[in-house]
Amino acid sequence: MSKANTLNHPLVDCHLSTLRARETRSAGFRQSVRQLSQLLALHATQNLATEDFPIETPIQPATGKRLSQSIGLIPILRAGISMVDPVLDLIPSSEVWHLGFYRDEETALPVHYYSKLPAKPVDIAMILDPMLATGGSAVMAMDEIKAWGAKKIMMLSIIAAPEGIQHVQTKFPEVEIYTCVIDEKLNENKFIVPGLGDAGDRIFNTER
């Protein structure tokens, strides 16, 4: 059974249009990434487990709720960094750990160059990457997170290609993928169509 979840919301459509537009500058691009990341995280976390604990309101004792599982945010460098703060705003108790990959422009394959995971794994690892294209970086990240010992893995991507979703689900059928939209396909250069260009370049204003 497919575990790819997409958002259907007018605000998502509006922010996606901003991301896709060639004329959108880095500041506006980052702002829409932030808004979409929060909407995506809100959707992805709707079934997180909670536990009761006692609190005192200004009026009387009451019962509060808090998350009962440890959450780790794992942005894939570099573009994934842009999704961290908006998700932290929703889950401030989250840990943040990093995995770094870059795309070999000749082969379109990911190259793993950085890893920073602690000794103790979290209950739920949320991989953050604005784009799920071929799925190569995502699968490499999942391999490492699985070996680390995280009990559950989620993938949060603003935009995804069918090929990337298929690759992830073939290797890790248990992983839940959350995305704002599934685009048409990858082109011959392994870029998402219609896509939004290179998310990292547009976020950090390094387009040439």
Show Cβ contacts of residue 142 under 8 Å, excluding neighbours closer than 6 positions: 127, 153, 155, 168, 171, 172, 175
Contacts (Cβ under 8 Å, ≥6 apart) of 21: none
CA atoms within 13 A on the CB side of 206: 8
Which of the residues are catalytic? 103, 107, 198, 201
Task: Please check whether residue 207 is in contact with residue 199, taking contact to mean a CB–CB distance below 8 angstroms.
Answer: no
Contact (Cβ atoms closer than 8 angstroms) between residue 154 and residue 178: yes
Residue keyed to tokens 């387009």: 207
